[in-house]
Chains A and B, each alone.
Chain A
Amino acid sequence: MFKKVKTWGPALALISPTLVLLAVFVYALIAENVRISMTNQHTARPSSDFVGMENYFRLFGDADFQHALRNLLLLTVVFLAGTLVFGFLWAWILERPAFGEGFFRSVYLFPMAVSFIASGVVWRWLLSSLQTDQSGGERTTGLNRLLDSVGLGFLQNSWWSDPNWGIAAIAVPAIWQLSGYVMALFLAGFRGIPEELREAARIDGCSEWKLYRHVIFPQLSPVMLSAVIIIGHMSLKLFDLIRAIVPDANTYDIQVPATMMWVKYIGSDYADSAAIGTIMLVLVALVVVPYLIYTSRQEKR
């Protein structure tokens, strides 16, 4: 028994400050948040009557929250698809030793270093929704004006100012910023595939397409899984980009649970805000926790 303390003791002492901080500032506050979400504190006047899961049921039945969830799903799907396609495309082009690989790799990866707030300010201008064929069209600016000036005027649209598909326009700057990161993941994945495997496949008479389908993609699937998990949870939590692009937080077109939580918080509806926060935590946990279990099992093997 004493021996166990001797081996574990110093290690435990080293990480105990971190454990305490995590316990207080993460887990205790999560518990407090869940507690508030089960009260009826909907205004600044103090009221802590326990109402159980009533806030959650009401939120899920609320048309505005359902719209926010639908937006979140759409955002995640478009964001994931965009980053995976572009990330893979660029990694594939760069891995056949291409001219200037180092330079292009940096170019594609660099947007990730920019903060969402900073790039959001520029994208706010680019995604301006006025089109040249509307009243006041001479004021058109941003991407719409660019498309019009190169003759692609028919591609103009209202970007995020659309109640049904607007959120997909918010995915555009996010894809621009994070495709580089997915590209880096895939490049690492490609490098991990030994050249002998490809040669062996070619010797066996494999066509290029079959080579990719049966040899390379299966080898890349752990990388793809990582990319899906990382991009997926970023998309579920996306807030700063939306706030930077959309001037008024309470805009119906781009409402996602994160922005709704903020609007309710500003309006002193603490119980609903806490409930939405808890729902978001559960959603992200559903994505991340299975992945963590899977990787830890891999490591144990």
Chain B
Amino acid sequence: MRRIAMLASVAAAGLLLSACGGGSAVEDANPSEASGSVGVFTWWADGSEKVGLDALVDIFSEQYPNLKFDNLAVAGGAGSQAKSVLAANLKSGNPPDSFQAHAGAELQDYIAADQLEDLTSFYEEAKLNEAFPKDLLDRLTVDGKIYSVPSNIHRANVVWANVDVLKKAGLDPAKPAADLDAWFADMDKIKESGATPLAVAGTWTQVQLFENILLASLGAEGYNGLWDGTTDWASADVTKAIENYKKALSYTNSDRDTLSDWGPATQLVEDGAAAYNVMGDWAEAKFSQDGKKPGEDYVYFPTPGTDGVFDFLADSFTLPKDAPNADGSKAWLTTISSVDGQQAFNAAKGSIPARTDVPADKFGEYQKSAIEDFSSDTIVSSLAHGAAVPVAWLNELSTAVSKFGGPQDVAALQDSAASIAKKFQQ
């Protein structure tokens, strides 16, 4: 009996000591000494995204053989399921070692809830301030601090067009329109030739079209001003922009709300039923999977009026506070921001690296042109993909845009958008 009591007290003392030992400060976390497992939470559970994640995990295992990658992926379109699971985990004090989030305003809620570690010092250690373009760093910085590391960059202001449909309407596929008015004139020609000029799908794709029209009508500065308060939503410029959007909608397919996500709209262009589709560059992966050749079957160009502007969205990884294995998390962040990691991941996923010093030879034709544009263009944040505004703002604006699709009341949309902006800019 006495022995058992002694053993029990020794065990208890041992446990007490181990509790004191944990919780090293994040700044001291040294990735090269890390061991154990790293739980990474994403929504990359299928398709090209899973392929990309697997490629990244291979590089991670090479760079850090002592660490084991723990895949906590949750399936479900654009992370809608994953985000609720993540919110529950964070709230209950059970954060993963790293989680995926769209870079930019979507992180604001996590930052305000004090759930993320500041990564500014990590950026300095890993010399990322030189590797990422300055515009991107500006977009990622909140109150002078950076909270996430982007793994890949997508572009949201690309038009995908069907070569045959353009030729049939008498247009030159190699010479896209220079601005919105010229583009609408081209769309008139396509309408006369019998095809649908512009293909669009449900609410979020309409919001993406809306942001492209806003960008084309207001320019990069005017567009940025909509979200930070320097552009007045009630101004005449915005009225003109919304009227341009109304005009664009008049060229679209009437069954847009019934299309299941973005794929069927891009498919219309692929099949030759429609001429143009404004979609992010994940459409490139779809075209190449279906065996279409750029230049022959389809062409791509920045949305007319947005040439020289890169409307970005990025997947990025964060370091949650009280992560179980902070060393391991930093190792993961080092991998995804390294040249090899970004090369492997983006070549598989079809996006482009955030670093400007990744050699472009392993990437496809579209990606090469996008990499060039990314390093020279003005970078703005995408509205529809969580970079420009927080989720609640995006949701309400999406409702207003969806409502606009029916009666197409310009004044109503402008008023709604203005009051929503006012509500969230406080």
**Do A263 and B254 have beta carbons less than 8 Å apart?**
no
- A135 and B402 alpha carbons, distance in the complex (Å): 21
CB of A100 closer than 8 Å to a CB of B? no
Q: A44-B109, A136-B274, A247-B202 given as contacts; is B254 within 8 A of A267 (CB)?
A: no
**Do A266 and B395 have beta carbons less than 8 Å apart?**
yes
Residue on A nearest B201 in the bound complex, by CB: A247
Residue on B nearest A245 in the bound complex, by CB: B258
Q: Which one of B25-33, B80-88, B285-293, B330-338 contacts A?
A: B80-88
Q: Which of B191, B203, B390 has the most CB of A within 10 A?
A: B203
CB of A162 closer than 8 Å to a CB of B? yes
**Do B391 and A267 have beta carbons less than 8 Å apart?**
yes
Interchain nearest-CB distance for A70 vs B (Å): 14
Q: Which residues of A contact B113 (CB under 8 A)?
A: 44-46
- A179-219 CB contacts (< 8 Å) to partner B: none
- B175-212 CB contacts (< 8 Å) to partner A: 191, 195-196, 201-204
Give the contacting residue for A268; candidates B109, B195, B258, B407; CB below 8 A: B109
- A131 and B255 alpha carbons, distance in the complex (Å): 9
**Do B84 and A251 have beta carbons less than 8 Å apart?**
no
**Do A136 and B203 have beta carbons less than 8 Å apart?**
no
- A262-301 CB contacts (< 8 Å) to partner B: 263-269
**Do A266 and B80 have beta carbons less than 8 Å apart?**
yes
Interface size class of B (residues with CB under 8 A): 35 or more
- A43 and B107 alpha carbons, distance in the complex (Å): 12
Q: Which residues of B contact A45 (CB under 8 A)?
A: 109, 112-113
Q: A251-B202, A251-B402 given as contacts; is B257 within 8 A of A129 (CB)?
A: yes
Interchain nearest-CB distance for A222 vs B (Å): 41
CB of B283 closer than 8 Å to a CB of A? no
Q: A43-B390, A129-B257, A135-B254 given as contacts; is B402 within 8 A of A252 (CB)?
A: yes
Q: A44-B87, A139-B273, A248-B204 given as contacts; is B392 within 8 A of A134 (CB)?
A: no
**Do A250 and B399 have beta carbons less than 8 Å apart?**
yes
CB of B394 closer than 8 Å to a CB of A? yes
CB of A261 closer than 8 Å to a CB of B? no
CB of A42 closer than 8 Å to a CB of B? yes
Give the contacting residue for B395; candidates A160, A247, A250; CB below 8 A: A250
The digit string for A114-136, where 1 denotes a CB below 8 A from any CB of B, is: 00000000001001111100111
**Do B258 and A161 have beta carbons less than 8 Å apart?**
yes
CB of A158 closer than 8 Å to a CB of B? yes
CB of B134 closer than 8 Å to a CB of A? no
Q: A46-B113, A250-B203 given as contacts; is B257 within 8 A of A130 (CB)?
A: no
**Do A163 and B273 have beta carbons less than 8 Å apart?**
no
Interface size class of A (residues with CB under 8 A): 35 or more
CB of B306 closer than 8 Å to a CB of A? no
CB of B247 closer than 8 Å to a CB of A? no
Q: A43-B390, A127-B258 given as contacts; is B395 within 8 A of A267 (CB)?
A: yes
Give the contacting residue for A128; candidates B201, B255, B392, B402; CB below 8 A: B255
Q: A44-B87, A64-B399, A163-B403 given as contacts; is B394 within 8 A of A251 (CB)?
A: no
Q: Which residues of B contact A161 (CB under 8 A)?
A: 254-255, 257-258
Q: Which residues of A contact B235 (CB under 8 A)?
A: none
Residue on B nearest A265 in the bound complex, by CB: B84
- A77 and B273 alpha carbons, distance in the complex (Å): 39
Give the contacting residue for A43; candidates B112, B257, B403; CB below 8 A: B112
- A255 and B392 alpha carbons, distance in the complex (Å): 17
Q: Which of A43, A160, A255 has the most CB of B within 10 A?
A: A43
Q: Which residues of A contact B392 (CB under 8 A)?
A: 42-43, 267-269
- B355-392 CB contacts (< 8 Å) to partner A: 390-392
- A287 and B273 alpha carbons, distance in the complex (Å): 49
Q: A42-B392, A45-B112, A247-B260 given as contacts; is B83 within 8 A of A158 (CB)?
A: no
CB of B259 closer than 8 Å to a CB of A? yes
Give the contacting residue for B398; candidates A42, A139, A250; CB below 8 A: A250
CB of B294 closer than 8 Å to a CB of A? no
Q: Which residues of A contact B87 (CB under 8 A)?
A: 44, 268
- A157 and B36 alpha carbons, distance in the complex (Å): 60
**Do A134 and B254 have beta carbons less than 8 Å apart?**
yes
Q: Which residues of A contact B94 (CB under 8 A)?
A: none
**Do B403 and A136 have beta carbons less than 8 Å apart?**
no
Q: Which residues of B contact A255 (CB under 8 A)?
A: 399
Q: Which residues of A contact B83 (CB under 8 A)?
A: 266
**Do B254 and A128 have beta carbons less than 8 Å apart?**
no
**Do A246 and B257 have beta carbons less than 8 Å apart?**
yes
CB of B110 closer than 8 Å to a CB of A? yes
Q: Which residues of A contact B201 (CB under 8 A)?
A: 247
Interchain nearest-CB distance for B162 vs A (Å): 13
- A43 and B83 alpha carbons, distance in the complex (Å): 13
Q: Which residues of A contact B144 (CB under 8 A)?
A: none
Q: Which residues of B contact A131 (CB under 8 A)?
A: 254
CB of A148 closer than 8 Å to a CB of B? no
Q: Which residues of B contact A247 (CB under 8 A)?
A: 201-202, 257-261
Q: Which residues of A contact B390 (CB under 8 A)?
A: 43
The digit string for B231-255, where 1 denotes a CB below 8 A from any CB of A, is: 0000000000000000000000111
**Do A128 and B253 have beta carbons less than 8 Å apart?**
no
Interchain nearest-CB distance for B148 vs A (Å): 15
CB of A240 closer than 8 Å to a CB of B? no
Interchain nearest-CB distance for B203 vs A (Å): 4
The digit string for A8-52, where 1 denotes a CB below 8 A from any CB of B, is: 000000000000000000000000000000000011111000000
**Do A44 and B110 have beta carbons less than 8 Å apart?**
yes
Residue on A nearest B402 in the bound complex, by CB: A252
Interchain nearest-CB distance for A91 vs B (Å): 34
Q: Which residues of B contact A246 (CB under 8 A)?
A: 257-258
- A134 and B202 alpha carbons, distance in the complex (Å): 18
Interchain nearest-CB distance for B271 vs A (Å): 9
Q: Which residues of B contact A163 (CB under 8 A)?
A: 403, 406-407
Please name 8 pairs of A and B residues whose Cβ atoms are closer than 8 Å in the assembled complex, sorted by A.
Answer: A44-B391, A64-B399, A64-B403, A136-B195, A163-B407, A248-B402, A250-B399, A252-B403
Q: Which 5 A-B pairs have the closest CB atoms?
A: A44-B109, A267-B395, A248-B202, A45-B112, A163-B406
Having A247-B202, A250-B203, one finds 10 other A-B pairs with CB under 8 Å, namely A44-B109, A129-B254, A129-B257, A129-B258, A135-B253, A139-B268, A163-B406, A266-B84, A267-B395, A267-B396
